Structure 1
Amino acid sequence: MAFLLGCEKARVEFPTKTVFEDVSLGLDEGDRIGVVGKNGDGKSTLLSLLAGIIEPDEGRVIRTRGVRVGVLGQADVLSDGDTVEHAVVGDTPEYEWAGDARVRDIISGLAADIPWQGRVGDLSGGQRRRVDLARLLIGDWDVLMLDEPTNHLDMRAITWLAHHLKARWKHGTGALLVVTHDRWFLDEVCLSMWEVHDRTIDPFEGGFSAYIQQRVERDRQAQVAEQRRQNQLRRELAWLARGAQARSTKPKFRIDAARELIADVPPLRNTLELKRMAVARLGKQVVDLTDVSVRLGGKTVLDDVSWIIGPGDRFGIVGENGAGKTTLLRVIEGALAPSAGRVKIGKTVKFAVLSQHLDNLVKLGSDRVREVIGRYSRRVMLDGKEATPAQLLERLGFTRDDLNEPVCDLSGGQKRRLALMLILLDEPNVLILDEPGNDLDTDMLAQVEDLLDGWPGTLLLVTHDRYLMERVTDNQYALINGKIRHLPRGVGEYLELVGRTTDERGGVVASSSGKASASKQTSTSAGEQATGAASKLSGGEIRALRKSMASAERKMDTLRGKIEGIHQAMTEADPSDYVKLGDMQKEIKEIETQIEALEEEWMEAAEALGE
C-alpha cells in the first residue's frame, strides 16, 4: 500500500505538558483507523499534527506530494451569515453540483431537512454539524481526518455517515483517521486502531472490539498491576460476545476467541436482584402515562401515548433530533404538564436528571471539587456494596490533583462525571440520563457503564451512542411521529423503521430556489445503504459467497482440531527427540498459516456481502 502521510520522531510540547515524545507512525492507502485514548491525552493534537495545522517541536511530518487532506474539527468553520447552500457548495453553480450523483447523495443524507436558503446562524447545533460534514464530504480528498464527527448527530445520521465512509473509496484506496467515543461507529468503520496514551501511540489490528480483546490479552500476559482496569475490559468483552445484536455478524471465530477469555466472567447485571431491590425502594408503581398528548407551538410532539414504567426497568429511548425525546422526559418527571391525558407518578418516586447542559453544576460556580464532595457524608449502595463519595470519585477517574480544581474550570468530561456522581449521592430511585456519554472517552464510558450496572432503580436513557444504549438498557423504545414503539430487536429495528420511512418519502435535495425536489432515483437512503454491497450482487453471487464463508468455517474448525491432535501427540512423544518435536512444531505453523488464509477468505466474503 502506498504511503500517504505520517511523522518521524515527533515531539509536541505545550507550556504545561508534553503531549508526544519520539512518535513515528504513518497512514497508508486503504487505512481506516480509529483513534482512542483518555481525554487530554492528545487525540485531537495528533490529527492537527498530521494535518499540518501545528508543527512538531522536534522531528518532522512527512506527506506524499499531491495528497489532499480534509479535516473536520470539533468546532465548525461555518460563517453565520452564509446560506446553507453557500456553506455546503460554495460558489459552485447549481447545474454542476446537482449533476453529481455523489454530491446529491451527501446533501440528501445530511441536509435534506435543512432549509437550503436558510442562514447558518439560525441553525441548531445538530444542523450546523451536518452542514459542516456535508461541506467537507463533497470535497475530493485522499485522506479524511474527522474529530468527533458523530457529536450532535442522531442515530440515523450516524448510520448514514458510517455507510458513506465505508463506500466512499474503492478497496485499498483513500485513508480515514477518526477520533470518536462512539464505539459502534468505530467497529462499523475502522479496520485498525491507534491508542494514544503516555506520550506515545500503540497500533492495534481490527476495530474497537478487536482492540478491546487485544488490550485484555496484552494486560493478561504482562500481569500488570491494574487489576481493576483488566476486569473492566473483560466485562466489556462479555458484552461484545453475549449481548449486542449489532455484532451478530462478527466472524464466528472472533466471537469464540472472546468467549474463551470471558468464560469465568459473571453476567453484566443481576437483573432479578436489581429488580428486587428496586421494588423495595420504589414500590410497585413508578410512572404511568395514559393517553398523553403534548402540543407545543401548534405542533403535536406526543400523540396519545400510553406507557407504564415500572420498578427496575432500564429503558432506552431513541428518535431523531427534534422528535420530542427531551419533552417526553420532562413529562415523565412531572416538569411539563401534558395537553391531554394523565401522568401518574408513584408516591415514593425520587427523580434525578442528568441533562445535556449539566444544570445541576451551574450553582456550584467556582467551588472546588473537594469542597463539593465534603458536603456529602452519606454512602451509597452500588453493586451490593457501600461506596463513599471519595471512592465514587476514584471510580470516575478523578485524581488528587483534580480535587483542588474549581468546578467551573473542569473539562467537559470531568463536569459530566462529577454531575453524575452528585446525582448518585442524592440517592434517587429513578435516574433520567440525557446524553450522558457526551465528552467522555471510551475508557471512562466503560467505567460509567460499570457503575450503572450495579445501580438499583429505574433507568431512562436518551443517547445517540448505539453501543451505550444497548450496553446499559434492557429494552429500547423509539419515539416516531409522536408515538412510543417498543423495539424487541433493539436499535437495528429502529434504523430499519426510519429507513423504510425514508424510502416511502423518497430522498430530497434542496434546490437554490429553496424548494425541495424529488431525488428518489438518484439518491440512496440510509435504509438502502444499510444493505451495503450485497444489494449489488445477484442471488447466485450471494449464495456462492455464503457457501464460501461456511466452507471456510468448516475448514478452520478441522485445522484447529489437527493442531489440538498434534499438541496431544507432542505431550506423548519422547522429549529428547528434538527432530520429531521440531517437525511437529513446523507442521503446526503451516496449519496456522492455512487458518490465517481462510480467515482472510472469510473476511473478504463477509465484506462483499456487507457484513
Structure 2
Amino acid sequence: MAHLLGAEALHLEVPTKTVFDSVTIGVAEGDRIGIVGRNGDGKSSLLMMLAGRREPDSGQVTMRGGTTIGVLDQADVFPDGETVGHAIVGDRPEHEWAGDPRAREVIAGLVADLDWDAEVSGLSGGQRRRVALARLLVGDDEILFLDEPTNHLDVEGIAWLADHLQRRWPRGQGALLVVTHDRWFLDEVCTATWEVHDRIVDPFEGGYAAYVLQRVERDRQAAAVEQKRQNLARKELAWLRRGAPARTSKPKFRIDAANALIEDVPEIRDAVSLRSLAVARLGKEVVNLLDAGVSYGDRVVLEDVEWLLAPGERTGILGVNGAGKSTLLGLISGDIEPTSGRVKRGKTVKVATLTQRLDELEEHLNDPVRVVIGRLRTSFTVGSGSKAQELTPGQMLERMGFSSAQLSTPVKDLSGGQKRRLQLLLILLDQPNVLILDEPTNDLDTDMLAAIEDLLDSWPGTLIVVSHDRYFLERVTDQQYAILDRRLRHLPGGVEEYLKLRTAEERAKAAAAAAPAGAARGGAGAGSVSGSGSGASAPLSAAGQKAPALGGAERRALEKEVQAIERRLAKLESEIAGVHARMASHDQSDYAGLASLGDELGAFQSEVAEKEERWLELSEQLG
C-alpha cells in the first residue's frame, strides 16, 4: 500500500512529564487505525502532531505531496453568528452541494432534523457535534483525523457514522485515524489499533477485540519471559554456591491460539448468586410502573408504561434524544411523579443515580480523596458466595485506577475521568440496591471502562443503564428496552433490533410525508435542511430503493397481517411481564422452577423476535 504519512523520532514533553520519546510510525493508504490508551498518555497529542496541529519538541512528520487531511478535534468551534447551512457547505452554491451525492448523504444522515438557517451557537452539544462532523465529512480529504467523534452522539448517530466511514473510500484507498473510547465503534471501523502507553506507541492488527486478545497474549509472553529470567537467575546463584549443576530439561512455555486464552474463563456474572443476593437485599418487589404516563401540559412524554422491575434485573434503555429516557429514570428514582397510572416501590428499595453531572462531588471539592472516602464505609463487599471478598476504600480506589499518590489530591484537581470514577465509588459505597447509570462512560478510557464493568459484574442489585456506548450497554446489561412513540418496548434482539425498528419508523414517516413533500418540492428553497438540498434524498438513503407497487387486494392482505402481528405482540408483551412477575415472586432456591420459567420466557422472546422481523418485512413491502 502506498505511503501517505510518516513520523520519525517524535519527542514531546509537557511540564510534568515526557509524553513521547523517539516514536516512529507510518500511515499507508487503506489504513483504518484506532488509537487507544489511558487518559493523559498522549492519544490526542499524537493525533494532533500527525495532523500538523501541534509541533513535536523534536522529530518530524512527513506527508506525501498533495495529500489532503481533515481534522475533527474535541472542541466544536464555530464563528459567532454562524448558521448550520453555512457551517457545513460554506459559500458553495446550492446546486453544487445538492448535486454532490456524498454531501447529500452526510446532510441527510447527520443534520436532517436541524433548521438550515439556525445559528450554531443556539444548538445543544450533540447537535453542534453533528454539524462539526457534517462540515468535515462533506469534504473529500484523503486522511481523516477524528478525536472522540462519538461524543454526544446517540446510538443511531454512531451507527450511521460507522457505516459511512466503512463505505467512504474504496478498499485500499484513503486513511482514517480515530481516538475514541467507544469500543463498539473501534471494532466496527478499524482494521488496526495503536496503543499509546509509557512514552511509546504499540501497533496491533485488527479492531478492539483483536487488540485485547493480542495484548493478553503479549502480557502472557512477557510474564513467561520474566519467569524464565528468574528461574535462570536462581540456577545461576545455585551454580555459584555449589558448582556447575547437572544438565536439566527446561519446560517450554507453549503459546496457545487466541481462543485458548478465554476457553477456561467462567461466565462474566454468576447470575444465580447475584439474583439470590438481590432478592435478599430487595425483597420480591422492587419498582413497578403500572400503566404509568407523564405529560407536561399538552405534550405527552410517556404513556401506558407497564414495567415490573425484578430483583437483580440488568436493563439497558435506548431511545433518541428527547424520547423520554430521563423521564423514565425519574419515575423509577421517585424524582418524577406520574400524571397517569401509578408507580409502586418496595419498602426496602434504595435508589441511587449516577447522573451526567458531578453533583455528588460539589461538597467535597477542597478535600483530598482519602478524606472523602474515609467518611464513608470502612469496607465494601465484592463478589458473592465463596468468591465474596472485603475491600477497604483504599483497595477500591486502587481498583478504580487511583494511585497512592493521588489519594492526597484535592477532588477539584482531579481530571474529568478521575472525578467520574470517584463519583461512582461514592455511590457504590453508600450501598444502594437499585443503581441507575445515566451516560456513565463519559470521560473514561477503555481500560477504566473495563475495570468498572468488572466491578459492576459483582454488584448484586437492580441495574438500569442509559448509554450511547453500545459496547458498555451490551456488556453490563442482560436485556434492553427502547422508548418508541412514547411507549416502553422490550428488545429481544437488543441494539440491532432497536436500529431496525427506528429505520422502519423513519421510513414510515418519510412515506407519509412523501406526497406533500413532492408537491411542494418544485418551489422549495434551501431554507431548511429538509428542503430540496437534503430532504429529497432522505427517503431514498433510508429505504435504498422504492418498494414495488402493490395491488389493492394484496395491500389489504398485508395490512391485515400487520394488524394481527401487532395484536399478538401486545399479548406477548403482557405474557412476558407476567413471567417476570412470577420469576420475581418465585422461591429463588428453586433452581428447577426458575429454569422452567426461564425457558418459558425464552420461548416468548423468540416468538417476539420472529414476529417483529416479519413486521419489518411487511412494513417495507407496504412502503
- TM-score, length basis structure 2: 0.78
- 3-state SS of paired residue (2:367): coil
Secondary structure at the counterpart of residue 484 of structure 1: strand
Within-5 A mapping of 1:422-441: 422-441=426-445
1:419 counterpart = 2:419? no
The answer as to 2:431 corresponding to 1:457 is no
CA contact 1:83–1:117 (8 Å) conserved in 2: yes
Given that 2:482 and 2:488 are in contact with CA atoms closer than 8 Å, whether structure 1 keeps it comes out as: yes
Cα drift, residue 326 of structure 1: 1.1
Q: CA deviation at 1:79?
A: 2.9
Q: Counterpart of 1:410?
A: 414
Aligned to 1:260: 260
* Residues 429-461 of structure 1, C-alpha deviations (whole Å, 9 max, x = no match): 000001111111111100000000000000000
User: Counterpart in 1 of 2:395?
Assistant: 391
1:69 aligns with 2:83: no
Query: In the alignment, is the contact (CA less than 8 A) between 1:156 and 1:526 conserved in 2?
Result: no
Aligned position for 1:517: 531
What SS does the aligned partner of 1:304 have? strand
Alignment of 1:36-435 (within 5 A): 36-223=36-223, 257-296=257-296, 298-383=298-383, 384-435=388-439
Aligned-pair RMSD on alpha carbons?
Answer: 2.1
Partner Cα separation in structure 2 for residue 209 and residue 441 of structure 1: 15
The structural deviation recorded for 1:506 is 3.1
Q: 2:31: which partner in 1?
A: 31
- Paired residue secondary structure (2:160): helix
1:500 aligns with 2:504: yes
Q: Find the aligned partners of 2:298 and 2:356 in 1 and give their Cα distance.
A: 25
Unaligned runs of 5+ in 2: 228-255, 518-523, 545-623
Contact 1:39 1:441 (C-alpha < 8 Å) held by counterparts = yes
Shift of 1:80: 4.6
Instruction: Return 499-508 or 366-375, whichever deviates more.
Output: 499-508
* Alpha carbons of structure 1 residues 377 and 309: separation in structure 2 relative to 1, 3 Å: closer
Query: Is 1:473 aligned with 2:488?
Result: no
Which whole-Å CA distance do the structure 1 matches of 2:362 and 2:81 have between them? 31
SS where residue 266 of structure 2 aligns?
coil
Equivalent residue letter for 2:401:
G
1:445-594 equivalent positions in 2, closer than 5 A: 445-506=449-510, 512-514=526-528, 516-517=530-531, 522-523=537-538
Cα deviation code 1:403-446 (max 9, x no counterpart): 12211121111011000000010000000001111111111100
Which deviates more, 42-51 or 512-521?
A: 512-521
Q: Secondary structure at the match of 1:150?
A: coil
For residue 289 of structure 1, report the CA deviation from its aligned partner. Answer: 0.5
Secondary structure at 2:53 match in 1: coil
- Amino-acid identity (%): 59
The separation in 2 between residues aligned to 1:457 and 1:525, in whole angstroms, is 46
Q: What code does the residue aligned with 1:417 have? A: R
CA drift of 1:505 comes to: 2.6
- 2-structure distance, mates of 1:187, 1:525: 28
Partner residue in 1 for 2:240: none
Whichever residue aligns with residue 434 of structure 1, its letter is D
Shift of 1:376: 2.0
User: Which residue identity lines up with residue 360 of structure 1 in the other structure?
Assistant: E
Q: How far apart are 1:95 and its partner, in Å?
A: 1.5
SS state at 1:373 partner: helix
Question: In structure 2, what is the Cα distance between the partners aligned to 1:313 and 1:197?
Answer: 37
Alpha-carbon offset, residue 511 of structure 1: 5.3
What displacement does 1:491 show? Answer: 0.8
CA drift of 1:224 comes to: 6.7
How far apart, in 1, do the equivalents of 2:104 and 2:488 lie?
Answer: 32
Q: Secondary structure at the match of 1:499?
A: helix
> 1:43, 1:179 within 8 Å by CA — same for their partners in 2?
yes
Q: Work out whether residues 286 and 309 of structure 2, in 8 Å CA contact, stay in contact via their aligned partners in 1.
A: yes
Q: What is the identity, as a one-letter code, of the residue corresponding to 2:171?
A: H
Aligned CA distance change for structure 1 residues 486 and 224 (closer, same or farther; 3 Å): farther
- The residue that corresponds to 1:14 in the other structure is 14
Q: Distance in 2 between matches of 1:525 and 1:400?
A: 57
| Contact 2:292–2:342 (Cα < 8 Å) also in 1 | yes
Provide the rounded CA distance (Å) in 2 between the counterparts of 1:475 and 1:272: 16
Name the SS for the 1:71 alignment partner.
strand
Q: Is the 8 A contact 2:193 2:203 kept in 1?
A: yes
Q: Is the 1:29–1:173 contact (alpha carbons within 8 Å) kept by the matching residues of 2?
A: yes
SS in 2 for 1:12: strand
CA contact (8 A) 2:112 2:535 kept: no
1:238 maps to which residue?
A: none
Q: In the TM superposition, what is the alpha-carbon distance from 1:371 to its structure 2 partner?
A: 1.4
Q: Which amino acid aligns with 1:354?
A: L
- Partner amino acid, structure 2, of 1:500: A
Task: Say if 1:389 and 1:524 are closer, same or farther in 2 by CA, change over 3 A.
Answer: farther
- 1:459-499 Cα offsets, whole Å, 9 max, x none, are 00000111111101011111112111111111111111111
Aligned residues of 1:10 and 1:57 also touching (Cα < 8 A): yes
* Conserved 8 A contact 2:377-2:430: no
Paired letter, 2:413: D
* Aligned amino acid, residue 62 of structure 1: T
TM-score by length of 1: 0.79
Comparing 186-195 and 364-373, the one that deviates more:
364-373
Paired residue type of 1:181 = H
